[in-house]
A and B are shown apart, each in its own frame.
Chain A
């Protein structure tokens, strides 16, 4: 049995209506205050402080002096910094494109039914689960020009030894090879997820129209799965841009400065030379680059949506 409470008087009805129509928004704002404070403390303040430091000539253990845009001007003239930007672009392009190509190809393979598919797919994604520093240490041993297993394997098929990461000309492609090995499975998983959700009807129609496998891939699969590939591109680009651990462990930016990316350059300035002001200026430039690139990628992703 249910009971319905009736308003005792007209005043009660008026009061209830007034309560319902009242604007409580200012009070709700209070509930968001803790989150705002946390974000301000851990995100906004460090950024403002980094920006402030980028305008100072400050070295740990010494005094600081306001230099305005001096650090940025010095960076523009610093040949090593300019080179490090070039190395970053070179590394990032290769470390995005190759895993995307191989990961998409692997996803197409694993999308088909064949014996032991589950087992092989599990083996394929194993590199992704390894710790980057541990991976880097293992690859370092494998790259040793005289004692590494890679040159031994090359010798078995009659190919001469390579200097791998010990040669300025081959160091970045070799580092990219480690990235490809490590992160192609991630791309494969993302694209595989996209393939699993594709409708069957377009393929059936295409078959009736006499399309071959390539036609179906080029004109049906690729356009439909492209939004997922764009997600993979965004993730890979961010990862490749911020790559540090693998490069630092394997080459420390060497030989010479041949693999010195912006991150390695930044690390050297901040934690080896303790030039905090100069390093902060690098961070600001790096941040601007990442923001611009992210906006570009998000725009591209938006354009690639099915309903766009």
Chain B
């Protein structure tokens, strides 16, 4: 070492010179990180509207740290999902919402938010170094969720902080007992369900939502296996096409022939209870419902749950995707403080905390690569593989239209009638005829 200093070689001099040139840059970056002024809007207060769920619990727990960091006071409220959506619609329509930040379900309210100009475009905030901490790293958010959050005009209304991929939960013990392998296709999913269906023992081969409205994502997820969605890119309904009928027929067979009695009235919670009690071999639903399955106080199948990527359909392989975003009210007078809140709540640390707590799948990719979290998780490697695999093939699970709720209602009734024995093609045709004018009117207004 001393020799190097006394008699520097050309390589040492070169390295030293490079270091001397690079040092200010490194220093500037370090200063930039350290210098980001979180206290810029200290003393302001913001109101936040959240949906009642475990993710919002985590955000409320992090509010104290946020206030200590920024000096911004937060007043947040959690409202049950349906009522939160109603509150958001009514308050945004008034033009003067009582909250500065709101969470929304992108799969339900994305287009409505764009049409009503609910939120600020976040792109300028993200690009503004004075408002965005250097370590926020927006590029870390998955391309799929970000594309989902972007509106047709390219504006980013919300940060997609939670993504729900549809997967197949399966009971490994029941599969092993009957020597059935995890299905490699959607058609195989039905044949496997038939083999596993054992009404005498009170075990259903398959369970999924049958309740109108709630049941539509099951059908649309199956339809993705045909490589198509329910509304074409040019805004036309594709709900009575051969592909739509195929998916609805499969939905009908799975629920009617291999589902539990009464599944026509099941929402996700009845499905979850049935599966959790070991009464169903497979359950197609969102990955966000996994937590209680591995809770010994609630579940009889702890350690026996398999997490499978939705099998491929005849023409394509996709996982239905649903997501929540968080944005700044356009009517807010504290937009910068609101942006600091969103930035903090969706930073790497808090997104990882969501995954650790089993509160859902975060929008950031880095969270899934945290080895310590994966090793410590009660869900095991298969769960994370399923999450990552689903993320790669994710596709919007519901049409990106304004009247999503009416769409779910009208086609939900058709699917329920189908389980009850009605002709699938006739039901879809009738529902399409009913909904077409609603869609046309929503696009005009």
Contact = CB atoms under 8 A, between A and B. Distances in A.
Interface of A: 59-63, 144-147, 161, 163-168, 171, 251-257, 268, 271-274
Contacts of A146: 202, 260-262, 274, 277, 279
B261 A274 contact: no
B121 interface: no
Nearest to B261: A145
Chain B CB within 10 Å — which of A62, A145, A147, A256 has the most? Answer: A256
B262 A166 contact: yes
A165 B89 CA distance: 31
B409 interface: yes
B86 interface: yes
A167 B266 CA distance: 11
28 contacts: A59-B445, A60-B90, A61-B112, A144-B262, A144-B273, A145-B260, A145-B262, A146-B202, A146-B260, A146-B261, A163-B265, A165-B265, A166-B262, A166-B263, A168-B264, A171-B265, A252-B211, A252-B212, A253-B212, A254-B264, A255-B420, A256-B212, A256-B416, A256-B420, A257-B413, A268-B409, A272-B409, A274-B89
Contacts of A60: 89-90, 93
A255 B210 contact: yes
Contact of B277 (A147, A253, A272): A147
Nearest to A148: B262
A147 B274 contact: yes
A62 B445 contact: yes
Given A165-B265, A254-B264, A254-B265, 19 more contacts: A62-B445, A144-B262, A144-B273, A146-B262, A146-B277, A147-B277, A164-B262, A168-B264, A171-B265, A251-B265, A255-B210, A255-B212, A255-B265, A255-B420, A256-B413, A256-B420, A257-B413, A273-B405, A273-B409
Interface in B165-197: none
Chain B interface helix/strand/loop/mixed: helix
Contacts of B202: 146
A258 to B, nearest CB: 9
B57 interface: no
Nearest to A145: B262
B349 interface: no
Nearest to A169: B420
B313 interface: no
B270 interface: yes
Given A254-B211, A256-B212, A163 B89 contact: no
A304 B417 CA distance: 46
Nearest to A62: B445
Given A147-B279, A255-B420, A163 B261 contact: yes
A273 to B, nearest CB: 5
Please give me the 8 A-B residue pairs with the lowest Cβ-Cβ distance, nearest first.
A166-B262, A166-B265, A145-B262, A256-B416, A163-B262, A255-B264, A255-B265, A62-B445
Contacts of A168: 264, 420
Interface of B: 82, 86, 89-90, 92-93, 112, 115-116, 202, 210-213, 260-266, 270, 273-274, 277, 279, 403, 405-406, 409, 413, 416-417, 420, 445
B441 to A, nearest CB: 9
Contacts of B279: 146-147
Contacts of B264: 166-168, 254-256
A156 B403 CA distance: 48
A61 B89 CA distance: 8
Contacts of A252: 211-213
B214 to A, nearest CB: 9
Chain A interface helix/strand/loop/mixed: loop
Contacts, number: 83
A165 B264 CA distance: 10
A276 to B, nearest CB: 10
A254 B266 CA distance: 10
A61 B445 CA distance: 10
Contacts of A144: 262, 270, 273
Contacts of A255: 210-212, 264-265, 416, 420
A163 B112 CA distance: 38
B93 A147 contact: no
Nearest to A170: B262
B403 A273 contact: yes
B409 A61 contact: no
B59 to A, nearest CB: 26
A60 B202 CA distance: 47
Contacts of A273: 403, 405-406, 409
Contact of A161 (B213, B261, B274): B261
Contacts of B261: 145-146, 161, 163, 166
A255 B417 CA distance: 9
Contacts of B420: 168, 255-256
A61 B213 CA distance: 22
B312 to A, nearest CB: 31
Chain B CB within 10 Å — which of A144, A168, A253 has the most? Answer: A144
B409 A256 contact: no
Chain B CB within 10 Å — which of A147, A168, A252, A254 has the most? Answer: A254
B416 A254 contact: yes
Chain A CB within 10 Å — which of B115, B273, B413 has the most? Answer: B413
A61 B265 contact: no
B341 to A, nearest CB: 25
Contacts of B112: 61
Nearest to B406: A273
Contacts of A164: 262
A165 B211 CA distance: 11
A61 B95 CA distance: 10
A61 B116 CA distance: 6
A140 to B, nearest CB: 9
A120 B262 CA distance: 36
B444 to A, nearest CB: 10
A20 B402 CA distance: 71
Chain A CB within 10 Å — which of B213, B263, B265 has the most? Answer: B265
Nearest to B280: A146
Contacts of B90: 60
Nearest to B116: A61
A255 to B, nearest CB: 4
Contacts of A253: 212
B445 A63 contact: yes
Chain B CB within 10 Å — which of A63, A165, A166, A168 has the most? Answer: A166
Contacts of A268: 409
Contacts of B270: 144
A269 to B, nearest CB: 10
B420 to A, nearest CB: 6
B409 A254 contact: no
Contacts of B406: 272-273
A99 B211 CA distance: 29
A255 B413 CA distance: 8
